[in-house]
Amino acid sequence: MRVVLKYGGSSVATIDKIKAIAEYVIKLKQNKYDEIVIVASAMGKTTNKLISLAKNISETPNQRELDSLLSTGEQQTVSLISMAINSMGTDAISLTGSQAKILTSGVHTKSKIKSINTDKIKSYLHEGKIVIVAGFQGINEHGDITTLGRGGSDTSAVALAAALKCECRIYTDVDGIYSVDPRLHPNAKFIEQLSYEEMMEMSNLGAGVMETRAVEIGKKYNVPIFVGKSLSESGGTYIMNTINALEEKLVTGISITKEIIITRILNIGYSPEKISKIFSIVEAGGLNINMITQNMTKDCHVDLSFSCKSDEKYLLEQVIEKVKETIPEAEIDYNDNLGMISIVGVGMINNSGIAGRFFSALSKANVNFYQVTTSEISVSCSIDRELVETAVKAVAEEFNL
């Protein structure tokens, strides 16, 4: 039996933790799995430290060179894990993303996996080796090292599991997935099972346990995904296809993004070409946006607004400058003191009144809500950042989460 195990930065933060993982994986190979592939993140806060080093050189470092630098964090981890396993008498080998034949496309620091050639990995597995692959990275068609952006190691792990046709087990410092972040709501309910759709929506809307693209790959290739605590023998959450039992619960969870920016582009003379051009500029700038609203005024002008995460403010500023050059008459401003709260659940599909209860709970807690967006299984709105915890408590109590 084959499996892909993924260890996040906190799980490999120290040499003692790496040694403990080595012992644990060796026991798994002896007792449960014939073939094991490990995907590892950089140790602890290594990636942040590398970014800081780059920023000490330049506030806008060359993105190709930044990718090359950031990739060394994961390379360090996988080499140390391999050394630890080998020192305990079990054969192991580490591979960088390029050595593992993970081909990527797209822009540097936010590349996407295009394909994986698993021949080399399979050959090492057939030799009885445990294979440790650097997460978060790959190589593009030009032979350049690329990184996959935030949560990229999750994406690497699930993509490898899809290519190797096996289960993927994501190990972190939490014991699974909760209805809401327990740090914001201590009484949060533990979730044993949830659907790919719900996990994708929760991740996209701010839940930090899994990366959206990773779950999307899992759904596309039907990869069983388990999320649990590193080295734990029990607990954990399974992400899977929707089952009827899940539909009995109207709302599965709450997602939070504590820091968002809402940008307003006002006084645009309406034309489909202008609106299209704005979003083309957004896409070209690599800015991830959601909660888009458009209002038509009486004089055939358009007010447009959209939100993005605060950590992409530097990209937003570049996009705004480009929009000003393209549409000089546009008036642009933004509010960067906001957060976003969302409710998610497949039970919303066939049940009405959920949005009303959501907004009523916020109103009773004296939480003003602004921009609103919905999908088939979610309702989201922006709120004042300082009221995020108040909003979470009110909504969690309303839906017994």
The string of pLDDT tens digits covering residues 89-121 is 999 999 999 999 999 998 898 899 999 999 999
pLDDT at position 211 = 83
Q: Is the pLDDT of residue 187 over 50?
A: yes
So where are the chain's domains?
2-173, 254-398
Name the amino acid, one letter, at 221.
Y
- The answer to whether 70 and 48 are in contact (CB under 8 A) is no
The string of pLDDT tens digits covering residues 304-338 is 888 888 888 888 888 888 888 888 888 888 888 89
3-state secondary structure of 147: strand
CA distance 232 to 12: 15
- The answer to whether 106 and 148 are in contact (CB under 8 A) is no
Number of H helices, E strands in the chain: 12, 20
Q: Provide the 10 A C-beta neighbour count for residue 267.
A: 14
Q: Where are the alpha helices (DSSP H) in 88-179?
A: 119-126, 152-164
pLDDT at position 393 = 92
The yes-or-no answer to whether 2-173 and 254-398 have a common fold is no
CA distance 144 to 359: 48
Q: Provide the 10 A C-beta neighbour count for residue 56.
A: 9
CA distance 190 to 180: 9
User: In this structure, what are the phi and psi dihedrals at residue 253, rounded to the nearest 5 degrees?
Assistant: -160, 175
The string of pLDDT tens digits covering residues 262-306 is 888 887 877 788 888 888 888 888 888 878 888 877 677 788 888
Q: Nearest CA to 3 among 38, 50, 30, 27?
A: 38
pLDDT at position 245 = 47
CA atoms within 13 A on the CB side of 261: 21
Rg, the chain, Cα only: 22
Q: Nearest CA to 169 among 4, 336, 398, 380?
A: 4
Q: Which two tokens stand for residue 11?
A: 């799980």
Fold for 2-173, please state it: Carbamate kinase (3.40.1160)
Q: Cα separations (Å) of 80 from 75, 77, 133, 140?
A: 9, 5, 12, 26
CA distance 228 to 225: 10
CA distance 176 to 178: 7
Q: Is the pTM of this model over 0.75?
A: yes
The string of pLDDT tens digits covering residues 193-243 is 888 988 888 887 776 778 888 999 999 999 999 999 888 877 889 998 865
3-state secondary structure of 33: coil
CA distance 136 to 18: 18
Which conformational region is residue 304 in: left (phi greater than 0), alpha (psi within -120 to 50 degrees), or beta?
A: beta
The string of pLDDT tens digits covering residues 120-160 is 999 999 999 999 999 999 999 999 999 998 788 999 999 99
Q: Provide the 10 A C-beta neighbour count for residue 356.
A: 10
Fold for 254-398, please state it: VC0802-like (3.30.2130)
The string of pLDDT tens digits covering residues 345-367 is 887 877 778 888 999 999 999 99
